[in-house]
Amino acid sequence: MVFGTFRILRLFSLQMLLLGTGVYSAFTLDNLPPPLTKPPANMKLIYLTLGTGTQNYVCQQGKWVFVGAESRLEYEATTKSQGPGQQGGKENRAIGRHRFVDKKPAFFISGIGSIVAEITAAAPAPNKQGVNWLQLTTISPRTGAFAKFVYRTNTNGGFIPTSPCNQNTPPAKVPYSAVYSFWD
């Protein structure tokens, strides 16, 4: 598991490094699996983040049931040098979080605002390594709405537990990561 986690982090570090070098402007959703569709042509990419956290499940009547997710939303920032002879670098910076509010996915971007969304389409992850890719539409801005559409892609992990459960089984928090793109 440690090796797999390291490989995931390395992959996302590479993706985030590419974002820091201008690939951000080249990010597209051209290869979405059906039934996901690209955002309307007039929409622009507002934020591109890496979400890391957990997909959460509880046992109900002997079966695992999805009850929500929690994740930290980060982007890679270029840092300035601290003085002569020192180089700047790259660091991941948290810009927000994702969790569920009243059983709906919600996204909070620090200092900007928050939105509540609903899933409008879902497709299995093409690489079979993570939970479904999602297309979401904003249904209610909580404060300072910043996006009309959210896409969860490039998922890794988060699968529903396969172990048996009963009423005494504690909730399961399964680690996952995903790229979240916000469009307006």
The 10s digit of each residue's pLDDT in 174-184 is: 999 999 999 99
Element (H, E) at 14: helix 2-20
Give me the amino acid identity at 100: F
102: left (phi over 0), alpha (psi -120 to 50) or beta: left
Give which of 143, 119, 145, 147 is closest to 133, Cα–Cα: 119
Q: Give residue 87's domain range.
A: 2-183
Alpha-carbon distances, residue 123 vs 31, 59, 104, 155, 182 (angstroms): 12, 24, 18, 11, 18
**Tally of domains within the chain:** 1
pLDDT at 83: 61
pLDDT tens by residue, 22-68 = 445 568 899 999 999 999 999 999 999 999 999 999 999 999 999 99
| Full-model pTM | 0.81
